[in-house]
Amino acid sequence: MFDAVIRNFGFLMGGLGVTFQLAVFALLGGIVLGMLVGLARLSKKPWIYYPVTAYVNFLRNIPLILVIFWFYFVMPILVGRSIDPFPSAVISFIVFEATYFGEIFRAGYQTISTDLVNASYSTGLTYWQTARYITIPIAFRRMLPSLITQSIVTFQDTSLAYVIGLRELVRRVSIVDNMEVRSIELYGFAALVYLVVCYLGSRLSRHFEEKSRKANIL
Amino acid sequence: MIEIKKINKWFGDFHVLKDIDETIQRGQTVVICGPSGSGKSTLLRCINGLEPYQEGEIIVDGTSLNDPKVNLYKLRQKIGMVFQRFELYPHMTALENITLAPMKVLKWPREKAEAKAKELLARVGIPDKADAYPANLSGGQQQRVAIARALAMEPEYMMFDEPTSALDPEMIKEVLDVMIDLAKGGMTMLVVTHEMGFAREVADEIIFMDEGRIVERGTYEDFFNNPKTDRARAFLDQILD
């Protein structure tokens, strides 16, 4: 019964490839920016704290799909020419997901005692060296399960990029469906693909959690 | 030489340090004691710029912390610090804890930093623990790694903030022995502690603080045998119980 899928398998898997590409860029950018956002959210400098807090609160209170849309239609006005769906989606996702990763990192940084940071400063390390070698790595390890959970959510969210015409998995399913008219099996197949990838992701998360607990590192 | 001149510090409305005056000469060991909340730890944090103060001046080897252009990172390199709860980096081995600052701050090559770290681990009596993570070390061992970490920067001063008060009794001695060795080796030390045995052995001066003020100072004999204030007497009675 999956013959419509089999006939278009290459095309559909190409869509999964686009989904993965978008997810990888969104995650790399979102996590790196999130590390900085988390630091800024704990900053004692008002000119850093307030703008970043406003940015986080603003984006966390609007749906991602609007951010994707808005960015895609506003960017051409700002840069003076139309912009491809893929880079537009990548930037929207980074800017949006960084607020979520930022809050995870902030919680991670807050598990670190003031004196641990003072210990680092007392050896002459600077703020950025302390962030790079002490606070970020510790927060990253302590927050790994939450980071993986949010990464899985991000992976699922990439399907929203279909609204700006990005030919990722869901978009390609709908293209095939327009020709084959086999909605149940085609969308069922897409769901199965997301399920498998996300299930593997959550198993990976549990594996790392167990491992760091056994290693007794944190 | 560390000169502390009329330091006053507030946490909001709370006056933590009141007119603190003190001079620490090279090679001296000064012990600071007093009830908790008396401002001892805060004073140490002011000296290496981890906490700001509102009034007075602290001068380390001629460099004033009041100077807006003071390079705190440079200043801290010559003042090692050891904390009550060890504060080792949990994601690094003992060796990595020690080599981080020499490699990143002093730009030493890895081989040099590791050689120094191993030498220091031997000096504090745990040469076999280089590859252990903090979670797998006892409290006494962790504190000795923390001392080695501070010493790796080859500081001219060492500050200890209640280094043995989080330790089980059987581990206190192993840490104090390392500190006594350091003091006898000529290190300039500022030690917040209630370990009177340590004070007797190496302290050139004892300062007793209460409610943010230095209420007594003198040699161990002075302080221990004839405390001048009731507060100091009450404090001594308490810790000698």
pLDDT band at A210 (very low <50, low <70, confident <90, very high): confident
Mean pLDDT of A110-124: 95
Q: Which two tokens stand for residue B140?
A: 């006494």
Encode pLDDT of B7-27 as tens digits: 999 999 999 999 999 999 999
Residue B92 gets the label, from left (phi > 0), alpha (psi -120 to 50) or beta, of: beta
Question: Which two three-digit tokens encode residue B108?
Answer: 């030493």
Determine the pLDDT at residue A209: 79
**Closest CA in chain B for residue A128:** B104
Residue A145 to residue B44: CA distance in whole angstroms: 38
Q: Are A116 and B105 a contacting pair at CB < 8 A?
A: no
pLDDT mean over A111-140 = 95
| Pairwise CB contact (< 8 Å): A119 & B100 | no
Phi, then psi, of B93 in degrees rounded to 5: -70, 170
Task: Determine the residue of chain B that is closest to A122 in CA distance.
Answer: B76
Residue A77 has pLDDT above 90, yes or no: no
B135 contacts on A by Cβ (under 8 Å): 216-218
A113 neighbourhood in chain B, CB within 8 Å: 85, 87
> Quick one: pLDDT at residue B151?
96
Of A115, A118, A123, the CB nearest to B105: A123
pLDDT in tens, B158-183: 999 999 999 998 899 999 999 999 99
**Would you call B50 and A218 a contact, using CB atoms and an 8 Å cutoff?**
no
Q: With contact defined as beta carbons under 8 Å apart, do A154 and A30 qualify?
A: yes
Q: What is the mean pLDDT of residues A78-106?
A: 92
> Strands B55-60, B2-11: parallel, antiparallel or unpaired by DSSP?
antiparallel
Show which residues on chain A lie within 8 Å of chain B, measured between beta carbons. Answer: 113, 115-116, 118-126, 129, 133-134, 137-138, 141, 215-218
pLDDT of residue A215: 64
Closest Cα in chain A, distance from residue B205 (Å): 24
CB A111 within 8 A of CB A129: no
